[in-house]
Chain A
Amino acid sequence: MERLKIPATDYTPEIDFDADAWKFEISGISRPENVMSVYEPAMDWLDEFRKQVLARSNVKYTARELTVNYRLTYFNSASTKAILMVLEHFKGFSDDGFNVSVNWYYDASDDQMREDAEELSEAVELSFNYYKE
């Protein structure tokens, strides 16, 4: 499956989903003019990826891990719901028995970002690993 690579702009994050490496990264700033225009392609890609993975029975329920890296420096309240919706896609993999590792990287001085991430983690019922940078 083709890698999804959407470059960052001043207002939108970089999205880099690698189907071969099972590595999924969202980084930068998120305050788009139209939130869904940014996150809908990511969710559509994940739906397709999940369909392809589940169709390969030898891959299903193996120990292979999905690595999800968030490196957001800022996201506005309008982005919050969309970020949660993307996380719910990864929760779907977890519910299917895959190992999902969500790594949340944030500026060491940004307590607010850590707090926001913890609230997302609780809302999606998926534990995050937190890393100060």
Chain B
Amino acid sequence: MTDKTLINRELVLKFKGHLNFETIGMLLNKLKVHFDSEEMSLLLYKKLLTLMIETLENIFKYSDNFEGENHLFPTYLPAFTLEKTKNKYVLSSSNPVRNEHVQILSDKISCVNSLDGDGLKKLYKKTIANGQFSNKGGAGLGFIEMAKISKENLKLSIEKIDEHFSYYNLIVVVETKSNNQEGWKD
């Protein structure tokens, strides 16, 4: 079924390949160029910046899990797109995930999707107070941060590749104008 909200999309950014810290910086610079060329509020820019950093760093921090699995590439290389519709920006990120991690990811996203703004704030506070760093420095806050900013459900889809890997896709949407943006000036 076609999602009508995604018709008439303008491609702002597209990347497919292995991500490293410098590549993320390059993509963020491209977002800045887009910000400079658009009539976009600083608030919206910072939302997009945060969402991009969180999604791209998720891929980067997970990349050890599929490093050297050359049979996955180029079909299932990590990918990121940022698209613009009339009222929204749509961020899509994809990368291979180990099948044993699919349920954990799905549960985390279901959890943040089930919470309203207050629930997300409580979970955020609980996580910063109790959360530990993962080996790559993740603090378990990324999906919560995304849900807080997006105010829409995070959309996860999983395509099974083989008995070891699946291809994860996460879509995060942010409105170009939000209720709390009234009175905003560039």
Q: Give the dominant DSSP class at B's interface.
A: helix
Choice from A31, A36, A119 contacting B128 with Cβ under 8 Å: A119
Q: Does B138 belong to the interface (CB within 8 Å)?
A: yes
Binds B, one of A42-50, A62-70, A107-115: A107-115
Q: Does A4 belong to the interface (CB within 8 Å)?
A: no
Which residues, 57 to 108 on B, are CB-close (under 8 Å) to A? 57
Binds A, one of B7-15, B46-54, B152-160, B161-169: B46-54
Q: Give the dominant DSSP class at A's interface.
A: helix
Q: Total number of A-B contacts with CB less than 8 angstroms? A: 72
Instruction: Kindly supply a per-residue 1/0 record for chain A positions 6-39, scoring 1 wherever the CB is within 8 Å of any chain B CB and 0 otherwise.
Output: 0000110000000000000000000111111000
Which residues, 56 to 112 on A, are CB-close (under 8 Å) to B? 74, 76-78, 80-82, 84, 107, 109-112
Task: State A11–B24 Cα separation when bound (angstroms).
Answer: 11
Choice from A36, A77, A107, A112 contacting B141 with Cβ under 8 Å: A77
Q: Chain A contacts of B132 at CB under 8 A?
A: 81
Identify which of B43, B125, B137 gathers the most chain A CB atoms within 10 Å of its CB: B137
Known: A78-B137, A107-B42, A111-B180. A120 touches B128 (CB 8 A): yes
Contact B145–A77 (Cβ < 8 Å)? yes
Task: State A10–B24 Cα separation when bound (angstroms).
Answer: 12
Q: Does A123 belong to the interface (CB within 8 Å)?
A: yes
Complex A-B, nearest 5 residue pairs according to Cβ-Cβ distance, in ascending order: A77-B141, A81-B139, A35-B137, A78-B137, A33-B21
> Could you give 22 example pairs across A and B, Cβ below 8 Å?
A31-B53, A31-B57, A35-B137, A36-B133, A74-B49, A76-B50, A77-B138, A77-B139, A77-B142, A78-B57, A80-B139, A81-B131, A81-B132, A81-B139, A82-B133, A84-B129, A112-B149, A119-B124, A119-B125, A119-B128, A120-B128, A123-B128
**Chain A contacts to B: CB under 8 angstroms:** 10-11, 31-36, 74, 76-78, 80-82, 84, 107, 109-113, 119-120, 122-123
Given contacts A33-B21, A109-B42, 11 further A-B contacts (CB under 8 A): A31-B57, A74-B49, A77-B54, A77-B141, A77-B142, A77-B145, A80-B141, A81-B141, A109-B185, A112-B43, A112-B46
